Every structure is written in structure tokens, then in C-alpha cells.
Chains A and B, each alone.
Chain A
Amino acid sequence: MSFPDAARVELDKAQQRRNLRKATTTIRAKRAAVVAEVPDWEPLRDEGARVKDEALHDLATHLERLEVAVTAAGGTVHWARDAAEANALVARLTRAAGSDEIIKVKSMATDEIGLNAALAAEGITAHETDLAELIVALAGDRPSHILVPAIHRNRAEIRDLFEAELGETGLSTDPAALTAAARRHLRERFLRVKVGVSGANFAVAETGTVCVVESEGNGRMCTTLPDTLITVMGIEKVIPRHADLATMLTLLPRSSTGERMNPYTSLWTGVTPGDGPRDFHLILLDNGRTATLADPVGRDALRCIRCSACLNSCPVYERAGGHAYGNTYPGPIGAILAPQLAELRDHTALPWASSLCGACYEVCPVKIDIPTILVHLRSRVVREQGAPPSERLAMEAMARVFASRRRYEAAQRGARLAGLAAHLPGPLRTWSGVREPPQAPRRTFRDWWRSR
């Protein structure tokens, strides 16, 4: 690689790290400001935890109630044990609606089951409609943050991408101009495609009402305009009653984007003649959730409302970035959810991807005690996988976080050069011993980033 090329790669990586830091810092400050406005925030968090626990501790009853209510309102409820069943259902329902394409609003559940790839294998095209997802899809990347998935791309790259992929010419790098280009491109699809696919933030057992929280309006487009709407929802998203929305809709936007309320929140119940889709299908997805529920300590992770506050508060996440976690759910929540949703043996390292500093627990709107669950999962890994918390395991953990052993060692060198060696007797301590997020020394971390 020539020097200019190498230099550009270098700068891009530095830019990525700056972007991520800027994102987490900005959102953290916004969250703190709007949370401080709510005088009863702490009791509200308790309430949020109680709402979710009530549903989770008697989940069968709540899901059956939800099924009855959705069916009564003209919707159809389906059950999927795993990703393959859910994907097959979406494909079948799409074809039954006479379509070979869908418009889709970003959802973690559909990412988790790999819906787009599964549909592609069936000859069905999935159009991502979130701006960031569009950018990520056009670039052939993976999302790096739950809320701002394209935070690792800068405006010039996005301009080049839109000119190459969307047939736009003469675009400026102004985010408003780029956003307008995406609007033009997607508007045609919103008006044309007959099947929409969404996730759900909440579903009310009592009434069958489904709730989607979003910013851009693509969620409204996907849930309102198509003839057929398919919602794929993890079974842990159910909440008991309509009044619980009061609690959850106060907690979520403030914790998530640091707004008092996000631009658009949609509620719908089955189908409404003359307003929105004629067909509504709700797919209730297990895919490891019942296994998670079976762990009396670990099950609290199912309370998660995917706000991403724990990511933004996490010193490890801020440095390692979303890609390092190697699955749909990054950050502290990913470290406790991914090993439980999938097989623990496939994610033995993730429970160590934390310094146990507790910042995640403090901000979590549903009071998930992430550090306690991490420690619990560490002991489960040791017990069930027979691996002592040894150097070997730690190396494996860090190799996972840093993508390879070589890179891990480079990062280690970086840490030593930074004078942190005194606090880092063993590889494990890289994370477990550091309470204060250490100031990353520019040079060594850039070396690290270059190598990623």
C-alpha cells in the first residue's frame, strides 16, 4: 500500500474512533440533562423493572393474552422457536401477499435472526429504510452502534456512496443534502412496496397494541403504507397493560436519544379499516429467550428495552466499538444477552468484556444489574465449560474483543506504553482492574485502530 493510501486508512480509523467518542459523549450529556428533568426518575426506573418483571415472571399468560387481543383486533399471531422458523414465516407471508420485496424498519430482532440474508436466499429483496441502515447496506458494512449504526462513516464517504449507488450526481457533503437524497430514493419504495416488516418496542397484552418508537418517519411509512405488515417481536417485549406505556414511554426516549420524546411513536392494534395495512401478522420469537428466562439471575437481561444508554456509558464500548462484540447486541447489554440468547459456549469471552465499573447499571432505565449478571455468567462459563478463569480464557476473551490475538497484543503494548502496566498484572485486568476509564494515549490507540 502506498503511503497516501496507508495514511488515508489511518485517518479514517482515527476518524471512526473520534466519531464514536463524540457520539457517546454527546448522547450521554443529553440523556443526563433530560433525566434530571424528571423528579421521580428513580421510582420510575423501579416501576419500569416491575412492569417488565410482571410480564416475564408470568410470560405464558401474557403472551396468550396478547395473542387473544391481537386476534380479536383482526391480526394473526405466529410463533417461531428459532431464527429459521421466523425467517421462513416472513418469506411465506411475503409471497402470500404476492410480493418479492419488503420495506423494513430497523429492528434488533430482525438483525438477530439474519432476516435479510434469509429472504435474499428465497429471492425476496429487503429494503432497509433507516438512513444509517441504508448507508451500512450500500457500503456492505455492519452497524457499529444501536442508535447511530453508521457512526463509523463520515460525510464524504456517504456522499461517494450515494453517488455510486443511488445514481445521484453533484451531491454536496452537507448532511441535509445527503438526507434529502435518501428521502428521494426511499420515497418511491415506500409508495410501491406492498409488504412492510418491523420490530416492536412494546406490545400490550391487555389490548394487543403494538408500539414502535422512532425518529425518521420510516417506521410510520413501513407500518402504515403497505397492505401487509409483518412485525417480528421477541417474546420478552410484552408488557401487561396499556397504562404501562406511560412508564415505558417516559423512560425510553430520555434514556435512548436523550430526548423528552422521540419524533414519532406509533401504536396500532390489529387492523383498522380505512387506516393502514389490511393484513397484520405478529411473529412471536423465542430464539434463545426461553433459555435465558430459565436462568434466575440471567433472566433480568430480558427486561432490556434496547435504549443503548449502557453502551454510551461504557468505557470499554467507547474504545472497542460495536463491531468488537461480534454480534447484534453490542456493549454491556450485548455482553450479557448474546451469551444467553446463543449458546454460552460460543460467547465464553463476552462476560469478560467489562471492567465491572457499574456505569451501565446506573443508567439502565429498567435497572438491569449488568455487573452482577456478568459475574454470574463468568462463573457459569467456568462451571459449564470447565474452563478456569485462566490466562488462556482471558486471552480468548480479549482476542474476541480485539478480533485477533495479534491485535490484542498490540493493544496490550499500547496499554503498557501508556504507563498502565502497573494496574494490569494479567490480561484479564486490562478490563477488570480499571475503574476509571484511562485516557487513551493517542499514538498507541491509533496503532491499535489501524490494526483492526
Chain B
Amino acid sequence: MAQPLSAARQEILARIRAATTDVTSISIHHGRKLTARPGDPGLLAQRVADYRATVTRTDDVAGAIAALLAEHGARRVAAPPGLPADWLAAIPEAVRDEPPLAHAELAALDGVVTGCAHAIAETGTITLDGGPGQGRRALTLLPDLHVCVVRADQVLADVPDSIAALGDTTRPVTFVSGPSATSDIELERVEGVHGPRRLAVVLAA
């Protein structure tokens, strides 16, 4: 870095040290012991619905995907690397992100189908970490419909359980709780601002 800026670094660190000379003991708390406790899929379904996202509980995931895409009129749908073959087959016209699609191409698609890292029952949250079947972040951001499949054994109890399950990951993580929303105009809630306007969760039994 240029000289004046490393001077800024030295000065800020010196100011900090001078500012905290009165602190004699720092209470180091060791963080909570976090474990990834399983959560209740029924609660997840209820909490996701609270955000006005739709929840489909089914043991036929491919069938549910096909039905949801049809319901939303979504034909050209993005498919991340690693999407299970039967989910892929449920998409009328799957557009694979290999090689990566341009952002404008992604924005022009009707939707995206993904799995997830896990889900959080208490808060109705889907956690995405870019693992197999999830894709990079832009994939679940630009298309207008996000169909996300959660297996019952992926349901965790609460936010701390999710943080525990993620470990010290350095991959990008996105917590998704319902469709994007704003209450900026006279405090009236509107679903769907910049992210996908519709989030459909398929909860596999």
C-alpha cells in the first residue's frame, strides 16, 4: 500500500492502543458451544409460509418441481452444477450454468431450481453455501422465481445451529428468509424488490 495509507494504519492502531490503556483485563468469552441440532420440518413449513413464500411438502420432489414451474409459467430455468438428475429432468428447458452464464442471460431466465446447505426451522430460513446443486450466488439472485428443495434431514433448529453447521467456511453464504421485501412506501409490505420475487420451497418428506 502507498506510504500515507500505511501511515494511516500505524496511526489508527496507535490511537486504539492509547485509547484503551485503562483496560486492564479483557474478558474473553469463549463463544457459545454451538451444535447443529435438528429442527422440526413442520415448524419450518409454517415459518417459511409466514414470509409469504410457498411451501410444498411432498415425497415426489421432481413432480413438485414440475408442478411449481408450470404454475409460474417458468420454462427456461437455470440449473446449477450438481443438481440431481431427476430434478433436472423436471425442468422443461434447463439452462445449465456450465460454463457460467452471463448476468444478463441469467436475468432473462424464468427461474432457478436449487437445493440448499440446510434450512433453519425457527426462522424459516434457507441457507445457501454454493455447495453441489446450489450454484454461485448470482444464480439464485437474478432469475425471478427460486424453487428451493429442502430435505427433511437438512432442517436445523435455529440460527446458532446453522452457524455451527457452516463451521468456519470461507465460501460465500446467503441466508434467505422469504422473498425480497420492502416496506419503504408508507410502511406497506411489498414482496419482491430486487431478488427473486417468488420463493417456492419444496420440503421433501
B174 (CB) vs chain A CBs: closest residue: A266
Identify the closest chain A residue to B138 (Cβ): A224
Given contacts A54-B29, A293-B20, contact A216 B193 (CB under 8 A): yes
- Does chain B have a CB within 8 A of A250? yes
Assess the A175–B176 pair: CB atoms within 8 A.
no
CB-CB < 8 A to B176: which residues of A? 263-264
Q: Is the pair B26, A57 in contact by a Cβ cutoff of 8 Å?
A: yes
B89 contacts chain A at the CB level, 8 A cutoff: no
Chain B residues positioned under 8 Å from A290 (CB to CB): 12, 15-16, 18-19
User: Is A155 part of the binding interface, using a Cβ–Cβ cutoff of 8 Å?
Assistant: yes
Q: Does B125 interact with chain A (Cβ within 8 Å)?
A: yes
Do A182 and B107 contact each other (CB < 8 Å), given the known contacts A19-B187, A260-B177?
Answer: no
* A 204-225 binary contact with B (CB < 8 Å = 1; else 0): 0011110000011110110011
Which residues in chain A, 131-158, are within 8 Å of chain B measured between CB atoms? 131-132, 135, 148-151, 154-155, 158
Tell me which residues across on chain B come within 8 A of A186, comparing CB atoms: 194
User: Judging by beta carbons under 8 Å apart, are A263 and B177 in contact?
Assistant: yes
B181 touches A263 (CB 8 A): yes
Given A53-B27, A218-B193, A274-B100 contact (CB < 8 Å): yes
- B179, A263: Cβ atoms closer than 8 Å: yes
Complex: A270 Cα to B169 Cα, angstroms: 12
Q: Which residue of A lies closest to B25 (CB)?
A: A57
Which residue on chain A has the smallest CB distance to residue B12? A286
Q: Are B181 and A216 in contact (CB under 8 A)?
A: yes
Rounded to whole angstroms, the CA-CA distance of A23 and B192 in the bound complex is 20
Candidates B50, B168, B186; contact of A242 at CB < 8 Å: B168
Contact (Cβ within 8 A) B1 A217:
no
A112 at the interface (CB under 8 A from B): no
Q: Which residues of A contact B173 (CB under 8 A)?
A: 266-268
A130–B193 CA distance with the chains assembled, in angstroms: 9
> C-beta contact mask, B41-61 vs A, less than 8 Å → 1, else 0?
000000100110000000000
Option from B162, B183, B184, B194 in Cβ contact (under 8 Å) with A187: B194
Question: Does B171 touch A at the CB level, under 8 Å?
Answer: yes
Contacting pair A276 B136 (CB below 8 A): yes
Interface centre among B1, B125, B167, B186 (most CB of A within 10 A): B186
Which chain B residues border A151 with CB–CB below 8 Å? 187
- Residues of the B chain whose Cβ atoms lie less than 8 Å from the Cβ of A58: 20, 23, 26
Q: Is A354 an interface residue (CB 8 A)?
A: no
Hey, which chain A residues are within 8 Å of B187, CB to CB?
A: 19, 22-23, 26, 148, 151
Distance of A207 Cα from B104 Cα, bound (Å) = 33
A246–B159 CB distance below 8 A: yes
Give the chain A neighbours of B120 by CB distance below 8 A: 261
Say yes or no: B103 contacts A261, CB within 8 Å. no
Contact A225 B186 (CB under 8 A): no
Query: Would B190 and A246 count as touching, CB distance under 8 A?
Result: no
**Taking the complex as formed, is A235 at the interface, i.e. its CB lies under 8 A from any CB of chain B?**
yes
Q: A59-B20, A148-B184 are in contact. Are A81 and B8 (CB under 8 A)?
A: yes
**A288-334, CB < 8 A from B:** 290-291, 293-294, 296, 299
Q: Tell me which of B6, B103, B167, B170 contacts A73 (CB under 8 A).
A: B170
Contact of A337 with B by CB under 8 A: no
How many B residues have CB within 8 A of the partner chain? 75
Closest residue of A by beta carbon distance from B22: A296
Contact status A81-B11, CB under 8 Å: yes
Contact A275 B163 (CB under 8 A): no
How many A residues face the partner with a CB closer than 8 A?
92
Does A190 reach chain B (CB closer than 8 Å)? Answer: yes
Residues 70 to 106 of chain B near chain A (Cβ within 8 Å): 100, 103-104
Q: For residue B123, which residues in chain A have a CB less than 8 angstroms away from its CB?
A: 260-261
Q: Which residues of B contact A243 (CB under 8 A)?
A: 31-32, 34, 163-164
When distances are taken between beta carbons in the complex, the residues of chain A under 8 Å from B196 are 217
Q: How far is the CA of A151 from the CA of B185 in the complex (A)?
A: 7
Task: Check B172–A276 contact: CB distance below 8 A.
Answer: yes
A50 at the B interface (CB under 8 A): yes
Residues of B close to A233: CB separation below 8 A? none
Chain B residues with CB under 8 A of A241: 31
A47 to B51, CA, bound (A): 28
Assembled-state Cα–Cα distance A400/B183 (Å): 30
The closest CB in chain B to the CB of A275 belongs to: B136
Closest chain A CB from B50 CB (angstroms): 8
Task: Pick the residue among B1, B122, B177 that contacts A78 (CB under 8 A).
Answer: B1
Do A293 and B16 have beta carbons less than 8 Å apart?
yes
Known interface pairs A47-B32, A246-B32. Does A260 touch B47 (Cβ–Cβ under 8 Å)? Answer: yes
Is A374 in the interface zone, CB < 8 Å from B? no
Does the CB pair B107–A187 fall under 8 Å? yes
Docked pose: A155 CA to B190 CA in angstroms: 13
Name the CB-closest residue of A to B50: A260
B136 CB to nearest chain A CB (Å): 4
B148 at interface, CB cutoff 8 A: no
**B28 contact set on A, CB distance < 8 A:** 54
**Are B16 and A60 in contact, CB atoms less than 8 angstroms apart?**
yes
Q: Does A356 contact B (CB under 8 A)?
A: no
Of all chain B residues, which has the CB nearest A173?
Answer: B185
| Contact of A269 with B170 in the complex, beta carbons under 8 Å | yes
Inside 8 A of B17's CB, which chain A residues have their CB? 60
**Given A57-B20, A175-B186, does the pair A272, B193 have CB atoms closer than 8 Å?**
no
Beta-carbon contact of A274 and B136 below 8 Å: yes
Question: 10 nearest interchain CB pairs?
Answer: A217-B195, A217-B194, A246-B160, A290-B15, A294-B19, A217-B180, A243-B31, A275-B136, A216-B193, A261-B177
B interface, CB within 8 angstroms of A: 1, 5-6, 8-9, 11-13, 15-20, 22-23, 26-29, 31-32, 34, 47, 50-51, 100, 103-104, 107, 120, 122-125, 130, 136-138, 141, 158-160, 162-164, 166-188, 190, 192-196
